[in-house]
Structure 1
Amino acid sequence: MVKISVLNLAPLRQNDSAKDAIDAMVRLAKYAESIGIQRYWIAEHHNMKNLASSATSLLIQHVLSQTTKLHVGSGGVMLPNHAPYVVAEQYGTLATIYPNRVELGIGRAPGTDMQTARALRRTTGANANFKAELDELRSYFDGTNEINAYPAKGIDVPFYILGSSTDSAYLAAELGLAYAFASHFAPRLLEMAVAIYRQNFKPSKYLKKPYVIVGANVVVADTNEEAVSLATTQTQFFLNVVTNTQQNLQPPLKDNNEVFDTYLYKATKAPHFGPVNFADTALMDQEKMAVMSMMACSFIGSKQDVQEQLQEFRSKIEFDELMVQSFIYDEQKQLKSYKYIKQIVDEMK
């Protein structure tokens, strides 16, 4: 049976402050818990004025304190930005305060541009050995390192490998860990990566069989027309990524044609978003193509239409969990969309 979970970047809506975005993040977490969603992850992004998800561990603690049973984790900890020892201390502390509710999604990308990456850890992380840092991080929880990271030592915090490439698929399979693919904005290698992960998976003491989480953008409304309109906020967000504009979430327009017809900004330099570096992508006068490529893993429409879209998607990709990102401007309509997608997934055989 497919599960549903939530990914939140803590975006600022138009005229919002960071505090407003964080408050909305908590409201969504409480609502997710109330409708039976079990997992809620918070992203890590830096030097982006339209996202409040820079101090991820602090946001996780805040959400944990405002909920009672929701599993809250990192989507993810970008390991090149952090000393593994500090990550172990932080998440070991969280798991001590909130036992059996803390999760560690771990990625190899900086989640920002290289200049900011240097400011974070005085390095770009380009020469970092991701597997070695993962092993080091695990050793602090397992208590096998000669240095102890209290209170993490002896605490079981589940690890999830995040990725958008085949490299991450091989690594997750080798380590016998669950695999979360960033198809909500980097879907190009999804099918190949999932196949590689499943074919090469080695059972471990942490996980006996493969477990795939697929990121997706979801907008469900009462009618297709309404959903198409609501989804234009998402289109504007990704257009901001491509043009490096960093506007707050904008109110919806009629459809994507109106978005591209009226958008004033153009791509002038290659942006960086999560694990995707656009340095080798021709963006000038191709903003629409880049945006539509990023949004390819999106399910938009009425409940019936989204159910059909998901069934077709599931026939191509074998996944265990759909992690939903939903850039809907109207908060009440965003909550309704999550209710609808939860109902849809619960009805899937």
Structure 2
Amino acid sequence: MKVSILNLAPLRKDNKYREAIENMIELAQKAEELGYERYWIAEHHNSKSFASSATQILIDQTLAATKKIRVGSGGVMLPNHSPYIVAEQYGTLATLYPDRVDLGLGRAPGTDMETAQALRRTERTADFPNEVEELAGYFEDINEVHAYPAAGVKVPIYILGSSTDSAHLAAKLGLPYAFASHFAPGMLIEAVKIYRDEFKPSKVLDKPYVIVGANAYLADTNEEAKRLSTTQTQAFADLVSNNLRPLQPPVDNDEMVWDKVREADTANVPNFGPVKFNADDLIRRKKQVADNMARVTFIGDKETVKKQINYLQEQVQFEELMINSYIYDIKAQYHSFKLLKEVIETL
């Protein structure tokens, strides 16, 4: 099994954006030392807690700071961009760094609709399937308009998804499929089944290839791994509370996280006429949503995580794991990825 890393270039508490980008590049260098397969960088807009808006620039900087690890987009949110410009950008990257660039494509804007309009500034409705084929055509140099230096350059395309829609498309086009189960695991099993059942071999892939997104928190003890994972719990609690912050230091346990949320919600429980909402009900619903988002998360020492990965393999068939990690302490994050690579090598 292959294992790779996804990085959203998150800010940590009291970080500046430059520090977040430097941390992202340093983690790529560590991933290369450890033998990770690829390193993907996400695209987010109008999100003050992430530095991953100009993805292609971050990819260029990461390629320049590494020697052999594949680096790519996880992914380019195609509705935000002209396929022609994407071809030019990634064709240029692949020209500078041959056989090291991946192009993951997603159909979501990666932001709110108002920001999406500001990004694209057009009334034309995005047509993801046709735009994927248009983009591939620039690399194959079969379109009426030519994109240089992309024409004839090999840039592997991956279809990203968090629902079943992209599974049908990836299968139809015979492209590798990456599912975002690190934050949206609900349709993972169904989507992968659709992809495998409907897959049609293509000139780039003769059989299905599935990448499953997951979160991972490894340490020398289960207790320490659980403590490290509370940074993710805080991030997901912030997300469902619409209170985005940089990554926060870990706390002793998840209960402490939700106690803080309860404290804030109790002071700001909404009223609707004579009806006052119950803070405990709000917390329960928020926790349920956050817990569902975090369902594909490995937490523990090496033996514990090995069992968790084996269990996931029993539920869904995949060829590669793409790991996201919100570990606050940089050294602890490096150690977690080292332990994870050791686990993968035993599978």
SS at match of 1:180: strand
Once the two structures are superposed, residues 23-45 of structure 1 have per-residue CA deviations (whole angstroms, 9 ceiling, x without a partner) of 00011000000011120000000
Tell me the equivalent position of 1:271.
none
Runs of 4+ in 1 over 3 A off after TM superposition: 264-268
Alignment of 1:111 onto 2:110: yes
Structure 1 residues 288, 176: CA separation in 2 closer, same or farther (over 3 Å shift)?
Answer: same
| Structure 2 counterpart of 1:22 | 21
Partner of 1:223: 221
Whether the aligned pair in 2 keeps the contact of 1:92 and 1:153 (CA below 8 Å) is yes
Match of 1:191, SS state, is helix
Partner of 1:182: 180
Alignment of 1:293-308 (within 5 A): 293-308=292-307
CA contact (8 A) 1:232 1:253 kept: yes
Alpha-carbon distance, 1:242 to partner: 1.4
Corresponding position of 1:95: 94
Q: What is the aligned-residue RMSD (CA, Å)?
A: 1.5
Q: Whole-Å Cα distance in 2 between the matches of residues 266 and 239 of structure 1?
A: 12
C-alpha spacing 1:344/1:124, structure 2 compared with 1 (3 Å): farther
| Cα distance change of structure 1 residues 115 and 223 upon mapping to structure 2, 3 Å threshold | same
> Shift of residue 123 of structure 1?
4.6
Counterpart among 193, 204, 227 of residue 191 in structure 2: 193
| Partner AA of 2:166 in structure 1 | S
Q: Separation in 1 of the partners of 2:265 and 2:93?
A: 42
Whether the 8 Å CA contact 1:79–1:110 is kept in 2: the answer is yes
CA distance change for structure 1 residues 266 and 325 in 2, over 3 Å: closer, same or farther? farther
2:153 is aligned with 1:155: yes
Question: What's the CA shift for 1:240?
Answer: 1.6
8 Å Cα contact 1:85-1:149 kept in structure 2: yes
Contact 1:117 1:123 in 2 (8 A): no
Give yes or no for the alignment of 1:329 onto 2:328: yes
- Indicate how the Cα distance of structure 1 residues 76 and 223 shifts in structure 2: closer, same or farther if over 3 A, else same: same
Tell me the distance in 2 between the aligned counterparts of 1:61 and 1:236.
31
Seen in structure 2, the aligned counterparts of structure 1 residues 60 and 124 have a Cα distance that, compared at 3 Å, is: farther
Matched, 1:55 2:62: no
Q: Which runs of 5+ in 1 are unaligned?
A: 269-282
1:214 corresponds to which residue?
A: 212
Instruction: In structure 1, give the amino acid aligned to 2:79.
Output: P
Q: Which moved more, 1:73-82 or 1:241-250?
A: 241-250
Aligned to 2:12: 13
TM-score by length of 2: 0.93
Gap change, CA 1:208 and 1:223, over 3 Å in 2: same
- Aligned equivalents of 2:76, 2:239: Cα separation in 1: 21
Secondary structure in structure 1 of the residue aligned to 2:76: strand
Amino-acid identity (%): 56
Q: Quick one: distance in 1 between partners of 2:264 and 2:235?
A: 12
Higher-Rg structure is 2
Q: Are the equivalent residues in 2 in contact too, given 1:42–1:75 (CA < 8 A)?
A: yes
Q: Tell me the residue number matched to 1:262.
A: 260
One-letter amino acid matched to 2:334: L
> What residue is the counterpart of 1:276 in the other structure?
none
Relative distance call for 1:201 and 1:101 in structure 2 (3 A) is: same
Secondary structure of the corresponding residue to residue 345 of structure 2:
helix
Q: TM-score, normalised by structure 1?
A: 0.93
Q: Give the deviation of 1:310 after TM superposition.
A: 0.8
Change (3 A) 1:61 1:301: same
Matches of 2:228 and 2:346, distance apart in 1: 24
Which residue in 2 is equivalent to 1:320?
319
Q: Which moved more, 1:259-268 or 1:163-172?
A: 259-268
Q: How does 1:67-82 map to 2 (within 5 A)?
A: 67-82=66-81
Alpha-carbon distance in structure 1 between the residues aligned to 2:133 and 2:168: 15
CA contact (8 A) 1:243 1:265 kept: no
Q: What's the offset of the Cα at 1:181?
A: 0.1
Runs of 5+ unmatched residues, structure 2: 269-280
SS of alignment partner, residue 231 of structure 1:
helix
1:126-179 Cα distance to aligned partner (Å, 9 max, x none): x31111111111111111111111100010100000001111111100000000
Cα drift, residue 243 of structure 1: 1.7
- CA positional deviation for 1:246: 1.5
The aligned amino acid for 2:202 is S
CA distance in 2, matches of 1:13, 1:345: 28
The answer as to whether partners of 1:225 and 1:301 remain within 8 angstroms in 2 is yes
Using a 3 Å threshold, how does the CA distance of structure 1 residues 246 and 123 change in structure 2: closer, same or farther? farther
Output the amino acid matched with 2:340. Answer: I
1:339 Cα shift? 0.5
The 3-state SS of whatever aligns with 1:347 is coil
Larger mean Cα displacement after TM superposition, 310-319 or 258-267: 258-267
Deviates more, 1:158-167 or 1:235-244: 235-244
